[in-house]
Structure 1
Amino acid sequence: MISVWGRERGLCVKKVLWCLEDLELKFDRIDAGRQYGRTNEEEYLKMNRNGLVPTLVDDGYVLWESNSIMRYLAITYGPASFYPLTNAKLHADVNRWLDWSMGALWPDIVPLFTSLIRTAPEKRDMNAVRTQGARLMKNWSIADEYLEGKKYITGEDFTIADIALGVLAQTYSTFELEGKPDLPNFNKWYERISERPGFKRYAVLPPEPDPTSNH
């Protein structure tokens, strides 16, 4: 039996839940993190010393880090196209975008999310918002270039890289930023992934109003 520890509206948790939904896997979810607490309890820390969510438990096997969880689920339960292993170049391409989602997008998505969603307008650091927003929009423009002539970020097949980018793209779509560029390839891709079961069920969930810690 698969269990997922984490609140369903957390950005990293959404990725795992979307992956599970698209794979049509049954699972239990245990609320943890932010307003639900539990991540600092001994039971949880025995599974994940980081005290963060999500954590996956699959028949006694414990795994944390959302992208690694998706890799595991795809290899164990998914079709070969979901996370290709035999084609080294395609395998590396999926990993490239998984890494890029965290290395390029995440550092600006998180502070912008905090500023634009969880902080009152009068308390926002708008200089920081403009700087972070400019970097984020530039990076989505890079993704738009790579999406030219493709259905999905690595080609014709939907992969877990599209999930990792998709959750952050949905979050980006809620940001009111000055000068958002027109990204035709990105928009077509976004429209395509928005029809996925996991996107409809989990990616679109709005954040909780509670402003406490833990993603």
Structure 2
Amino acid sequence: MLQILGKTSSINVRKVLWTCAELGLSFEQEDWGSGFRSTDAAEFRALNPNAMVPVIRDGDFVLWESNSIIRYLAGRYRGEWLYPADPHERARCDQWIDWQASELNRSWSYAFLALARHSAAHQDRRQIESSSANWTKHMAMVEGQLECTGAFIAGQAFSLADIPIALSVNRWLDTPLQHADFPAVAGYMAGLAGREGYRDYCRNGTP
């Protein structure tokens, strides 16, 4: 049985949970992270020296880093429809997965911690405004891409890239800030509503 270590409120854990839903994979989940068992515990660090969730155990195989995990699961469990084998299609998918982790994540960090998590260490008004503006700029890139495809983030078919991107859009929508009018983004999220993984792990009230 596939084991997933990490709390459901983590956006990175939810990437893995949603991927499992798309692939029809059964799993056991253990809650680790803030509010649950500490990831600084020796037994967790033995699995992931970075002390971050998620971690998976697939038999004797252990893997951490959410984007590496979702790629592994798609490759291991016949998910070619989700993560295409064609080099061009896979590269487009990877492009958006990596952009979400490297650029989009950084754009929201300060504003999200201030406005959604109410962190006392993140209450500088100028930095909140700067981060919010940067976040909106990156969301405009998502809007532009969805206008181009008229469907999903990497093209005409749902792919692995839509999981981290939709989770990020959900985080943006659920954070109390001024939201620009992005009709393609709104239509995209409405179109995903029929997917079980989306209902269970994206629009589930957990930013």
**TM-score, normalization by structure 1:** 0.89
Q: Which residue of 2 aligns with 1:105?
A: 104
* CA apart distance, 1:205: 3.6
* CA apart distance, 1:187: 1.5
Gaps of 5+ in 2: none
Equivalent residue of 1:147, what SS? Answer: helix
Gaps of 5+ in 1: 209-215
Q: Which residue of 2 aligns with 1:49?
A: 49
Please give the alpha-carbon distance, in whole angstroms, between the structure 2 residues aligned to 1:190 and 1:22.
16
Q: Which residue of 2 aligns with 1:116?
A: 115
Q: Decide whether the 8 Å contact of 1:83 with 1:94 is kept in 2.
A: yes
Q: Which residue of 2 aligns with 1:4?
A: 4
* CA apart distance, 1:126: 2.1
Equivalent residue of 2:46, what SS? Answer: helix
| Residues 147 and 187 (structure 1), Cα distance of their counterparts in 2 relative to 1, 3 Å cut | same
Q: Which residue of 1 aligns with 2:37?
A: 37
Q: How many residues align?
A: 205
Equivalent residue of 2:127, what SS? Answer: helix
Q: Which residue of 2 aligns with 1:211?
A: none
Q: Which residue of 2 aligns with 1:16?
A: 16
**Higher deviation after alignment, 10-19 or 37-46:** 37-46
Please give the alpha-carbon distance, in whole angstroms, between the structure 2 residues aligned to 1:69 and 1:150.
28
Please give the alpha-carbon distance, in whole angstroms, between the structure 1 residues aligned to 2:95 and 2:21.
23
Q: Which residue of 2 aligns with 1:126?
A: 125
Please give the alpha-carbon distance, in whole angstroms, between the structure 2 residues aligned to 1:147 and 1:207.
24
Equivalent residue of 2:144, what SS? Answer: helix
Q: Decide whether the 8 Å contact of 1:9 with 1:205 is kept in 2.
A: no
Equivalent residue of 2:81, what SS? Answer: helix
Counterpart amino acid of residue 97 in structure 2: L
Q: Decide whether the 8 Å contact of 1:9 with 1:206 is kept in 2.
A: no
Please give the alpha-carbon distance, in whole angstroms, between the structure 2 residues aligned to 1:105 and 1:137.
10
Equivalent residue of 1:34, what SS? Answer: coil
Q: Which residue of 2 aligns with 1:68?
A: 68
| Residues 108 and 156 (structure 1), Cα distance of their counterparts in 2 relative to 1, 3 Å cut | same
Q: Decide whether the 8 Å contact of 1:5 with 1:54 is kept in 2.
A: yes
Identity of aligned residues (%): 29
* CA apart distance, 1:13: 0.6
| Residues 131 and 8 (structure 1), Cα distance of their counterparts in 2 relative to 1, 3 Å cut | same
Please give the alpha-carbon distance, in whole angstroms, between the structure 2 residues aligned to 1:204 and 1:182.
19
Q: Which residue of 1 aligns with 2:136?
A: 137
Counterpart amino acid of residue 72 in structure 2: Y
Q: Report the aligned-residue RMSD.
A: 1.8
* CA apart distance, 1:207: 4.6
* CA apart distance, 1:113: 2.0
Equivalent residue of 2:38, what SS? Answer: coil
Counterpart amino acid of residue 159 in structure 1: S
* CA apart distance, 1:138: 0.9
**TM-score, normalization by structure 2:** 0.92
| Residues 49 and 120 (structure 1), Cα distance of their counterparts in 2 relative to 1, 3 Å cut | closer
